[in-house]
Amino acid sequence: MEDRRDRAAGNGTLFGKLADGTEVHRWALENGGTRLKVLDYGGVVQSLEIPDRHGHHRNVSLGFDTIEDYVASSPYFGALIGRYGNRIGDGRFTLDGTPHRVDVNDGANSLHGGGRGFDSRMWDVEPFTQGSDVGLYLSRTSADGEMGYPGTLEVKVTYTLTERGDWRIDYEATTDRTTVVNLTSHVYWNLAGEGSGSVHDHELWIAASRYTPVDSGLIPTGELAEVAGTPFDFRRAKTVGEDLRVAHEQLLYAKGMDHNWVLDKGATAKPLPVATLRDPVSGRTLRVSTTEPGLQFYSGNFLDGTLVGTGGNVYRQGDALCLETQHFPDSPNKPSFPSTVLRPGQTYRSTTVHSFDR
């Protein structure tokens, strides 16, 4: 008989306290061989353990042991990102003729919702068991004007661990005033194990024939450029490090790769496969499916050796990478990009599924 404890969502336990005394809790989920620990601060995935080909579990996501580290120095480790994932140029956009100014926190630009985006807010968390699945409902209300964004946004994010060990994220949002929304998750992946060193030998496939080149501030120019003949061509799986040091202007701007790939499938009603990441040594493989039209591949360029993670190891450049499913950066200022506008009466929906093999 199957052991039901493998699917028990469990109760939140105290992880720490914020400076104002707010308690931060951690929930532990386990199902299908995948183990997930989640904080109600930022919806952060503090750890995600999956087995290798020999059945040995390791945490494959970067994170911290204390809430103080998340507050003081986290580069979005494992966090939910909003209201707007990625960058908005100059922190400005216009909706229906009305100009809006949002919080600027990345040079002249707004990044991941501003200096206090969804990644550093408290979320309400409710565990659930549904059939053979377990998970967490995470919700919060983003007030009208939060970080400069118009409209009161009601947000619900569902983390589900399935019977086969897939980690599914479902996003929903509604607004009482026209606004822009682009939600994503910012897990830093190292399939060899957190703190094990560079991911440059990981093999990556991305189902995209085009990407969006950026200027020196990492804001898309508006061009949808062909990946053919460039370091950005992952239509055939290759190692992350194969072309990372090619003398290409785009790589110089980002100190590596920090770009949006235009997925060949476009936006879809159901999640479809868009990327595969594999560590050839452990055999651990991550397969990403999404409804989103874009994927931001970030090669960990700004990890600078100043952060100590959950395993007691220092994180250096290239020690992890991110695969952020999304709409395109700066879409509110690029009418030719898929729209991120959400109006009253509409519901924002997005789904991404992370499947694990070995």
Active site residues: 186, 324
According to DSSP, the β-strands at 92-95 and 285-290 are: unpaired
Instruction: Answer positive or negative: Cα dihedral of 252, 290, 288, 26.
Output: positive
Helices (H) and strands (E) in the chain, counts: 2, 29
Contacts of 20 (CB under 8 A, 6+ apart): none
Contacts of 105 (CB under 8 A, 6+ apart): 111, 114, 115
Distance CA 232, CA 297 (A): 10
Contacts of 208 (CB under 8 A, 6+ apart): 227, 234, 235, 261, 262, 263, 264, 274, 295
